[in-house]
Structure 1
Amino acid sequence: MIEAIDAIPLENIYRIDPSDRTPIPLYSSGVQAGFPSPAENHIERRLNLQDLCVPNIETSYFVKATGESMIGDYIFPGSILVVDSAVPVQTGSVIVAWVNGECCVKRFVRQGKQIMLESSNERYLPIYVHLQQDQFLVLGVVTYVVSKPPRYVRPR
C-alpha cells in the first residue's frame, strides 16, 4: 500500500511543451566552496534546461513529487522529476509507477518473479507487487531531478 502522503496526485503530472524553450545563462566557471574568483564571472553561452534534461520530448513528461519516501535519492516534496517512458526499466531504476490506482515514485527492484518498489527513506516500508493480483504499470524512468536544496534542520 502506498502511504497517503507519498502518493503522487494526477494533477502533478505535466506534458512537456516543446515550443517553450527559454535559454538560461551558463557560466563557464565552476562553483567553488571557497573564495570565488571575480574574474571568472562571465557567461560562456546560453543553455536551455529542456535541451539538457529532456532528450526525448515525445516520450517524456514532468512529475511534481510529493512525500518524503525518496529523500535518500535527493527527491524532496516539490521536486520536479523528468520521466521518460521509453527508457528501459532495470533493477535499480527510479521509476514512476501506477500501483492499485495510485501513482508513486520508487526504486524498482526485481527479485526473480517478484517486484519490490523500494523507498530511499528508511521510515518507509517497501511495496511488494504481486503481478497476478495487483494493478501495476511503470509510467517511466526518472532521468533527472530538479530540486530546491533541502531545508537545513539544525541538529540538536
Structure 2
Amino acid sequence: MKLTGLSAAELLTLHADVADELRHREITRSSNNPAGDYAEYLFCKAFGWVQADNSVKSFDATDPATKMRYQIKSRRLTAPNTSRQLSALRNLKDQGFDYLAGLLFDRNYGIERAALIPYDQVLKLSKYGEHTNSWRFMLRDSVWLEAGVIDVSDKLRAMVIQ
C-alpha cells in the first residue's frame, strides 16, 4: 500500500480504521497507541495470563495457576526516539504487582527484547520523579543481567501475529 499519495486526513482515517480493526480482532482493547495493548495481548497469550479489567490500576494481568500479578509495560523503538523509558509506574512502593513484564518493540512492532523483572529489581532500578509523582523505569540491556530477571524474548516472538 502506497501512503505517500494520501492526504493527512486520509492517513488519519486509515489510522483510525486500523485501530478499530485491531480492537475488533481483540488484539487491542482501546483506541490509544497500540503498543501497550499489543504487549498485554502478547504476554497473556504466551503465558496464559488473564487480563485485568481496565479499571485495575496496579497490575495488568494475573497468572491463574500461581496468582502472580504482572504489570505490563512496553516501548516502541524508532530512529527518532530510541528511549527505553517505560510509561510511568504509579504507587510503586505499594507493591501492586509481583513482576514487571517489559517489552521493547522495534519500529514495526517486532519483538526486540522482553523480560520478566521481579518487583524488588524494579524498585531498585526505578527513579522517582516528584513533578509527575511517579517512578521511571528504563528497560536498558543491563536489566537482563539483574538477579531474577527472565529473558522471554523468544517466547513472545513465537506469539507475534502475522
Quick check: which has more Rg, 1 or 2?
Answer: 1
More helix by share: 2
Larger strand proportion, structure 1 or 2?
Answer: 1
TM-score class normalised by the smaller sequence: under 0.3
TM-score by length of 2: 0.23
Structure ranking higher on relative contact order (CA contacts 8 Å, 6+ apart): 1
